Structure 1
Amino acid sequence: MSQPATVQAAPFLGVERSAGGRRWRLADVDETMVRRLMPAAAGSDLVARLLAGRGVTPETAPSYLAPTLRDLFPDPSLFADMDKAAGIILDAIVAGKRVCVFADYDVDGGTSSAILARYFRAWGRELGLYVPDRLEEGYGPSPEAFRWLKAQGYDLVITVDCGAAAVRALDEAVSIDLPVVVLDHHLMSGHLPETAALVNPNRPDCTSGQGHLAAAGVVFVFAAAMNRLARQRNIAPPAGLPDILPYLDLCALGTLCDMSPLTGVNRAFVRQGLTIMSRGENVGLRALADVSGIGEIDSVYHATFLLGPRLNAGGRVGDPWLAAKLLATDDRGEAIALAERLHTLNDERRAVEAAIQDEATAQAERALAANPDRGIIIAAGEGWHPGVIGIVAGRLKDRFHLPTIIIGWGEGLGPVAKGSGRSVTGVNLGDAISAAAREGIILSGGGHAMAGGLSLEPHQIAAFDDWMVAHMAQFTAERDAALDLHIDAVLSPGSATTDLYDLIAALGPFGMGAPEPVFAMTDVMPTGVRRIGANHLRFTAENNTGRIECIAWRVADEPMGDLLRTGQRVGLAGRLKSDQWNGRRRVQLEILDAAML
């Protein structure tokens, strides 16, 4: 792909500091590339600009606009250890060995384990399941867990969405003669641990070029490798080899919820997976949608923001096994019971999260008032549940446009304080946390550029805060750039029709690496501003071109909400959404920001 759009040097429309604390920038695309993309864009200047702004070229446009597995699916043999892993597990299936999948407690882990469970079931085998408790065991396999699995009589363990860096646990597995196959996607460093096989597109010696895959994507490719090997051996279960295409709904769900970039084969996974998801064939997903009142599941929004949080709720504040069981079951009664439990836990999670967010926001405001240049938000509290601190960190990061770490500890919440962080583009939070751990400022920690986790004693928090503030002083330019809100184009309310929406939606799926277009509307009057829910606003934006319904999330008690209620003309920035109302389809603007112009 070509380089994506740059942004104007000067703030767009003069918005240096919006009500949301943002600086507006208009995408500056290569006009030559726009002209070259016009045929692929069916003559639409707007579509050509949106494509150019996402780094699409005339050569890559066909696969971007119509991604297919036929064109984009990788050769499984290009993954280090893929063929070896397939041989080990196919042998275990044929021999009837007892196999257990060890899954992470998030959606990517749950979808990955469910794909394997369904594959094994198609061979007439049941796959055991183990999901660690977030508070008691933490992330990934432990020596204790592997010893327990050995004692239960398992002959083989498959780790999914974890395991690649679990050196102590894998060494223990070797010592107790428990073969382990790792199917992971997390970054690795140092020497490869000893395993029966380790499949990870991000292991240093893997040449697959598929490091952007979520674990669910790795497992889906692995299922294809299993079928290919079975064909080579001329073996199959009585009903024939498993049809893995129906598993694409799980693959898409794991890819989206793990925020994997929607490039390459991930676009095909999600595009085709959403189509399968909309059919409601997965009993567990259908039950969760029914219990939650979601209705049809056919969009990135449904998967990421409605199903994802509910599936994650078990791992955050309840039973970490619930999501994996739900996604693997074919029993409607069991699915309804599991879905109801997850839905209830999600309500509990939201209540816990809201209380922590209020306290953390107050701490952040006090810290910034004392030192406006501190460059990072760190908030901590006794009793703050480790299962939701990552969500709160993301909320505060979005509000203050600064790297944020939230720390919680207390009785029943684990032996030490846990922290979870989210960062802004250009500030590698994982590296910073790792450096703090190396210097003994905290007990342990690490992560990647945009997120990280850590463990520390409560008495270390003050010194950690001082250390991080000093460390972040070097990222002044990056923090300043994080204030930029990139706008793709200007629309008038009257031009935001369903036809335009459909034209733009055809460029999807949108997500990480393929951002949904952001549009500005200038000189509009918010009318009928009203609060809905706890802290949201709904209103109509009008000017002489027409009107459009708008929704602004979590702003009713914020400066943006105050601006929208002033009765003055403003500029709006947001994304177009399709909405059904009284049987009629319409387009609304989901507000990201507002400013006086």
Structure 2
Amino acid sequence: MADDSAAKTLTAFLGVSRSLSGRAWRQRPADAAVVRAHMQALGLDEVLARALAARGVPADQGADFLTPTLRALFPDPSSFMDMDAAAEAILDALQAKARIHVFADYDVDGAASAALLVRWFRAMGHDLPLYVPDRLTEGYGPSAKAFDTLKAAGADLVITVDCGAAANEALAHAAAIALNVVVIDHHMMRSEPPKALAVVNPNRPGCNSGQGNLAAAGVVFVLLAALNREARRRGLFAERPEPDIRQWLDLAALGAICDVTGLTGFNRALTGLGLKVMSDWRNPGLRALLAAAGAEPGPAKSNHAGFILGPRINAGGRIGRSDLGARLLSTDDPAEAQALAMELDALNLSRREVERAVTEAAVRRVEATGAHVDDSAVIVVAGDDWHPGVVGIVAGRLRERWRKPVVVIGLDPVTGVGKGSGRSQPGMNLGRAIQAAWEAGVLIAGGGHAMAAGLTMDGSRLTELSAFLNDRLAGERIQAIALDALEIDALIDPAAATRALFESFERLAPFGPANPEPAFALSGVQAREPVAMNGGHVRCRLVGPDGAAVRAIAWRCADLPAGQALLSGQGGLSVVGRLKADDWNGRKGVQFEIEDVSDPRMV
């Protein structure tokens, strides 16, 4: 087993230094003075004020956190390196009636980013053609071939969104064929930017915007503000109304949530206000996709974006046509929106089946090697014909299961080329390690974020890649073990797990990285009437010593120690989880979504 000494140095909550999933529990730390300040200034009870302080919200910023506004938090577009140059180049091309195309990544953030630009151009009286590379035949991001295709189609200017910042070679080719490019991105990039008219990226070395947690859709939203400002300066709104970009906040929120960005500061305001715009379901594509999923319209939550809309939009890029998501979010035609939504929903069903098969095969392969329980820093697993559109999802599932970074690679048995994706643990920068592997010549291509990365490689070098990544990340493993503690906001009993408690904590929403969903602990409970469900889920009632109970569910754990403890029906368990609304048949209740389980007899 991996060394857990770092975890044991933490103050154990309920005495849990190692749960059934191998994690330590601790109470989320909060400064007592800040807690009191939030109680006094905002009229909060102590539990909620403590949760606010524990999320790092200073005493003087509580109001902005609970009721964020664009007016208070919107950054100056000029604070982004090259933002003014990008706005000027785009408007120069627009006024010159040049042929402008948008080149987008195939995921939700790319689709939302493209749709934002398409809608702004439409409001300005211009069509903006879409180009989204095919995941299987073209791979990720711009390529020389793609730019040749766009040039042949008559493009004068290409705006890349959610990609391009690290495509130095492809953009050098675009320059060589006299194709102008503006890059709008948020991914990690090399110190030397690609050759372009402008490269806007809050994570670009030297950019002082302080907005590195934005998704690409958030960066594009700021670009729209810069375009409006520059167009206003040029007098372009003398005879046409200025586009009100606030109507498209739902697209910015969609990108932020689905790209799992840190929801703090301006990005929090963008997301929270975007969900309010989404709640009206005015975007024909989102409205049609919600209907295709069988969900009811109503107040939009992060769950709508992350678990209902996002997977279906992504399904086009994963196993279908890559441009379906961007077209869905861009259209104003209800009939077209309905047709696209139905196609994406069907593709999502197919994606689930493909994902299930690859997950099962990958689990068997890893468990046969013992890599899930040894001291390795990262797991690398590959298989023939594993669909590259689902390897990222599978990597995420396995990371959750084994609490260490996982890279899953699908190999083409004919060419021997592998395309893979990885998901990481907090404290381990997988994107940087993958980038280093590319720089060392181990990979054909690779890069990404701290928590997620993608790669292309020669399948014969799998052992070499595994050794490289394990060596590179070994030093970060100890820190990651310490960071893998499960942080808890409050200890409650089943009787306190009410709709009122859930709704009071909803004031902290939207939740995501840097603003985690509140976690509650129950102590000394028994799982009664446990049922193993399809998919490996476990449903039960958690009953306290006084007989009070709350409905509960634990996802994908029936074959794991936590699931086995629940299914055994034993008492005296400690459980950590999150409260979710349970509105089935109008009951207006709550369900406890179990995150982790500890058996005090085994602590």
Same fold (TM over 0.5): yes
Deviation at 1:41, TM superposition (A): 4.5
Alpha-carbon distance in structure 1 between the residues aligned to 2:344 and 2:372: 41
SS state of the match for residue 565, structure 1?
helix
5+ long unaligned stretches in structure 2: 1-6
1:254-296 per-position Cα deviation (integer Å, ceiling 9, x unaligned): 0111111101111111111101111110000111110111222
1:7 and 1:26 in contact (8 A); partners too: no
Q: Residue 526 of structure 2: SS of its match in structure 1? A: strand
Secondary structure in structure 1 of the residue aligned to 2:270: helix
Aligned to 2:444: 443
CA deviations over 1:345-364 (Å, ceiling 9, x no partner): 11111111111111111222
Greater CA drift, 345-354 or 553-562:
553-562
1:420 aligned partner: 421
Q: Which runs of 4+ in 1 moved over 6 A?
A: none
Query: 1:238 deviation in Å?
Result: 5.2
Aligned 8 A contact 2:161 2:185 in 1: yes
2: distance between equivalents of 1:239 and 1:579?
A: 47
Q: Does the Cα contact within 8 Å between 2:312 and 2:345 map onto a contact in 1?
A: yes
User: Which secondary structure state, in structure 1, belongs to the residue aligned with residue 28 of structure 2?
Assistant: strand
CA–CA separation in structure 1 for the residues paired with 2:371 and 2:527: 31
Residues 1:363 and 2:365 aligned together: yes
Deviation at 1:379, TM superposition (A): 1.2
Give the corresponding residue for 1:394. Answer: 396
CA distance in 2, matches of 1:584, 1:8: 43
Which deviates more from structure 2 when the two are superposed, residues 186-195 or residues 132-141?
A: 186-195
Counterpart position of 2:148: 147
**Which SS does the other structure have where 2:297 is aligned?**
coil
Equivalent in the alignment of 1:578: 581
Distance 1:294 1:415, change over 3 A: farther
Aligned to 2:591: 588
Higher mean Cα deviation, 427-436 or 469-478? 469-478
Letter aligned with residue 585 of structure 1: K
Instruction: Please give the TM-score of this superposition, normalised by the length of structure 2.
Output: 0.94
Residue deviations 1:32-76, cap 9 Å, x none?
Answer: 222222224414110111011111111121111111001001111
CA separation in 1, counterparts of 2:596 and 2:128?
A: 48
Deviates more, 1:501-510 or 1:433-442: 433-442
Structure 1 pair 511–13 and aligned structure 2 pair: CA distance change class (3 A): same
Give the aligned partner of residue 554 of structure 2: 552
Aligned to 2:314: 312
CA distance in 1, matches of 2:100, 2:439: 37
Number of the residue aligned with 1:240: 241
Partner residue in 1 for 2:68:
67
Deviates more, 1:469-478 or 1:21-30: 469-478
- Once the two structures are superposed, the pairs formed by residues 59-458 of structure 1 within 5 Å of their partners are 59-236=60-237, 239-296=240-297, 298-368=300-370, 372-410=374-412, 416-458=417-459
Q: Supply the distance in 1 between the matched residues of 2:124 and 2:416 (Cα, whole angstroms).
A: 42
Give the count of matched residue pairs: 591
Structure 1 distance, partners of 2:158, 2:172, is: 14
Once residues 463 and 150 of structure 1 are traced to their aligned partners in structure 2, the CA distance between those partners, rounded to angstroms, is 39
Letter in 1 for 2:269: A
Aligned residues of 1:8 and 1:25 also touching (Cα < 8 A):
no
CA distance in 1, matches of 2:278, 2:242: 22
Shift of 1:239: 4.8
Q: Secondary structure at the match of 1:446?
A: strand
| Contact 2:538/2:567 (<8 A) preserved | no
* Deviation sequence 1:458-489 (CA, Å, 0-9, x none): 22112322343444443441242254211121
Distance in 2 separating the partners of 1:396 and 1:194: 38
SS of equivalent residue, structure 1 residue 582: helix
Shift of 1:504: 0.4
Q: Residue type matched to 1:563 in 2?
A: A
Could you say what the CA RMSD is over the residues aligned between the two structures, in angstroms? 2.0
In the alignment, the residues of structure 1 paired with residue 140 and residue 416 of structure 2 have an alpha-carbon distance, to the nearest angstrom, of 14
Q: Aligned partners of 2:139 and 2:311: how far apart in 1?
A: 19
Secondary structure of the structure 2 residue equivalent to 1:240:
coil
Q: CA shift at 1:20, angstroms?
A: 2.4
Distance 1:288 1:85, change over 3 A: same
Residues 234 and 349 of structure 1, relative CA distance in 2, 3 Å threshold: same
- Give TM-score, length-normalised by structure 1: 0.95
Q: CA 1:437–1:240 in 2, change beyond 3 Å: closer, same or farther?
A: closer
CA contact under 8 A between 1:7 and 1:27: conserved in structure 2? no
The secondary structure found in structure 1 opposite 2:588 is strand
Q: Give 1:3's aligned residue.
A: none
Look up the SS of the partner of 1:28 in the other structure.
coil
For 1:279 and 1:415, locate their aligned partners in 2 and report how far apart those are by CA, in whole Å: 49
Q: CA deviation at 1:397?
A: 0.7
Which residue does the alignment assign to 1:21?
A: 22
Q: Which amino acid aligns with 2:424?
A: S
Aligned 8 A contact 1:288 1:336 in 2? yes
**Shift in Å at residue 237 of structure 1?**
7.8
Moved more, 428-437 or 302-311: 428-437
Distance 1:228 1:441, change over 3 A: closer
1:482-526 superposed Cα distances (whole Å, 9 cap, x missing partner) = 542111210111112222111100011110111111110011121
In the alignment, which residue of structure 2 is the partner of 1:10?
A: 11
Q: Which has the higher mean CA deviation after the structures are superposed, 419-428 or 231-240?
A: 231-240
CA distance in 1, matches of 2:58, 2:547: 33
Q: Within 2, Cα distance between the matches of 1:380 and 1:573?
A: 33
Contact 1:522–1:572, Cα closer than 8 Å, also in 2: yes
1:519-577 deviations in Å (ceiling 9; x for gaps): 10011121122233432122111121621111211122332221112222211100111
Report the CA distance shift for 1:59/1:545 in structure 2 as closer, same or farther (over 3 A): farther
Distance in 1 between residues matched to 2:79 and 2:121, nearest whole Å:
24
Alpha carbons of 1:19 and 1:237: their partners in 2 closer, same or farther (altered >3 Å)? farther
Aligned twin of 2:568: 566
C-alpha distance in 1, partners of 2:8/2:69?
Answer: 31
* Distance in 1, Cα, partners of 2:91 & 2:551: 55
Deviations 1:164-202 (A, max 9, x none): 221112112212111111111122222232212222222
Aligned to 1:526: 527
- What is the percent sequence identity of the aligned residues? 49
Contact 1:15-1:595 at 8 Å conserved across structures: yes
